[in-house]
Amino acid sequence: STPETSTNTASSDEAAAQRREQARTALAAARRAERELRWYGDDGALRLYANAGALDEDLDGVRDGLARLIDRILIDAREALQRRRDAAPAQAAVAALASLPAAATAHAELQRLLTLAERRSAGADRVQRIAGALSQADRTLRKSRPTQDELLQLGEQLAQAQQLDPGDTRMRDAVDRLVAILLLRAGEQIDRDDRNAAEALLTAARQLAPNSAQLRELQVRIDTPAGQGP
């Protein structure tokens, strides 16, 4: 071999040795960060294991360490979701694992679990909102004469809850009872010539029962100037 070739070989060996040393340093830092539960960020175990693997993919402990950490992250996030209903660890894990090919399976599993948790949360919120609206309806409609403001507020609440589950029989019953009172009060306000109050009551009723024949009749009375009715 020529002196030039020998020099190039020596330089290549020196660079390889330097990379191995850097990989060992990164691996040691990764293990330390893992023990300290520092998993994410530039100085976190996940990034350091990946750096060590990029420097020397055959270095003992890199693949096993990264696989172990990914498993720990998955277990921790799954437990937080399923036992504590806490999505934050899973959300952080999904963001951190997204760019790691070795974590593709864990990343997909966490995304699936997050989707399920979001659906459960939405379902629980829907049930809670419906129950709250029905409870408020029961309290308001039990009164001998609820105020107009109470009726209008209940109308808004039931209109929103009705959209969550239009087929709920308890909801339909509460809506029917409220609409009957709204229309009765609207008629009373028309008789008193308080058209603004009557219009507010009819607007609330229209949100709940837009096809009511009685509502249309009362609207005609409001729209007909005094003295020009049939």
Instruction: Report, as an integer, the average pLDDT of 193-205.
Output: 94
Domain boundary among 119, 151, 185: 119
- Kindly state whether residues 115 and 182 are assigned to the same domain: no
Q: Domain count of the chain?
A: 2
pLDDT in tens, 174-189: 999 999 999 999 999 9
For residue 121, name the pLDDT band (cuts at 50, 70, 90). confident
Asked whether the predicted pLDDT for residue 3 surpasses 60, the reply is no
Size of the chain in residues? 230
pLDDT of residue 210: 92
Domain boundary among 87, 119, 151: 119
- Kindly state whether residues 148 and 99 are assigned to the same domain: no
For residue 146, name the pLDDT band (cuts at 50, 70, 90). very high
Distance of CA 186 to the CA centre of its chain: 40
Residue 135, domain member (yes or no): no
- Kindly state whether residues 13 and 95 are assigned to the same domain: yes
Boundaries of domain holding 110: 3-119
Domain boundary among 119, 135, 158: 119
- Kindly state whether residues 100 and 8 are assigned to the same domain: yes
pLDDT of residue 43: 92
- Kindly state whether residues 7 and 115 are assigned to the same domain: yes
- Kindly state whether residues 110 and 199 are assigned to the same domain: no
Lowest mean pLDDT among 31-40, 78-87, 91-100, 171-180: 78-87
Whether the CB-CB separation of 158 and 191 falls below 8 Å is answered with: no
Residue 41, domain member (yes or no): yes
In angstroms, rounded to a whole number, what is the distance separating the alpha carbons of residues 36 and 17? Answer: 29
- Kindly state whether residues 9 and 85 are assigned to the same domain: yes
- Kindly state whether residues 112 and 34 are assigned to the same domain: yes
Residue 228, domain member (yes or no): no
Predicted TM-score of the model (pTM)? 0.57
- Kindly state whether residues 115 and 149 are assigned to the same domain: no
Whether the CB-CB separation of 70 and 102 falls below 8 Å is answered with: yes
In angstroms, rounded to a whole number, what is the distance separating the alpha carbons of residues 175 and 138? Answer: 11
